[in-house]
Amino acid sequence: MDVSERPVGGSEGTGEPRPRRRTARLLTCAVALGVIAGTCAGYLVQSAREPGALPPLSQPTLAQARGAAPEPLAAARDRQVRMDGDLRRMLLRKPAGARDSADATGEDGWLSLPAYAASFTKPKVAFDLLVRAQFRRAATTGWRQGQRSTEIRLVQYRQEEDTSAAAASEEGQYWAEKKPGTRSWPVPGTGDGLSYVHDRPTTQYGVTVYEAEVQAWRGDVAMAIWIYDTKPIPATTVRDLAKRQMERL
């Protein structure tokens, strides 16, 4: 996805993996080949040793453990059961006293594939890319508090062929990091999720707007948060919001 396909109103996108992601996959293959080569070398060294120098590679079959199998996880503790349920329940609740944001709530909290693709500057291209990425569904919420507006999106993928949620989060981070005057912090509970504060505001229609955002993922869900305000947004605000939302996933 090129620059002209950047999402409207946020930084999240779903496109072809960028070069650094392909490099990571190549490194993974190299590591796997290293493991295979090391195993083969071990067998060659073992075969050259005197008999009895080391225990044989073949070992007797271990006896199966006895006793009852562990109890299955309750639905409330089974993450996959929860994530396969109503995805809207995983979203943070609107703060007390906040007003609904009509631009962020979608159709009863859901964003259909066409509606989600329409948030990109090239909806038709985005639609095809999302289908290829095995888009499953998206839930969204948003609210306004004074001049500050907040939007949260959870986008779930089927992931039968690729880790699309991680790729979507990575691309969102790519766009976030391109903005000048940006600071970032890791999101607790994620391997590489990041929260951002963009210190350089933009001016539209005579209004100065500051922005902060979060791009992270867990399992098959990519999480994106955007905060807009007419005043600078404290880093603690976006970091706390990211932490609380991630705890629900």
Burial class of residue 23, CB neighbours in 10 A (0-12, 13-18, 19+): exposed
pLDDT of residue 160: 84
Q: In order of start, what are the domains of the chain with their CATH numbers?
A: 3-21+72-246 (3.40.1000)
User: Which of 214, 212, 217 is CA-nearest to residue 190?
Assistant: 217
pLDDT of residue 205: 86
pLDDT of residue 26: 35
Task: Assess whether pLDDT exceeds 90 at residue 114.
Answer: yes
Cα–Cα distance measured from residue 230 to residue 102, given in angstroms and rounded to the nearest whole number: 19
Look at the alpha carbons of 183, 203, 95, 11 in this order and tell me if their dihedral is positive or negative.
negative
Task: Assess whether pLDDT exceeds 60 at residue 46.
Answer: no
pLDDT, tens only, 173-189? 999 999 999 999 999 88
pLDDT of residue 34: 45
Q: Average pLDDT, stretch 110-116? A: 94
User: Which of 91, 104, 89 is CA-nearest to residue 244?
Assistant: 91
User: Which of 207, 145, 212, 205 is CA-nearest to residue 182?
Assistant: 212
Tokens describing residue 244: 């609380």
pLDDT, tens only, 59-96? 666 666 666 666 665 555 666 777 788 999 999 999 99
pLDDT, tens only, 199-217? 999 998 899 999 999 999 9
pLDDT of residue 83: 76
pTM: 0.69
**How does the average pLDDT of the chain come out, rounded?**
78
Gyration radius of the chain over CA positions: 23
pLDDT, tens only, 134-168? 999 999 999 999 999 999 999 999 988 789 999 99
Element (H, E) at 241: helix 235-246
Q: Average pLDDT, stretch 101-122? A: 84
* CA distances (Å), origin 121, targets 4, 6, 116, 133, 209: 7, 6, 11, 18, 20
Q: Average pLDDT, stretch 5-19? A: 42
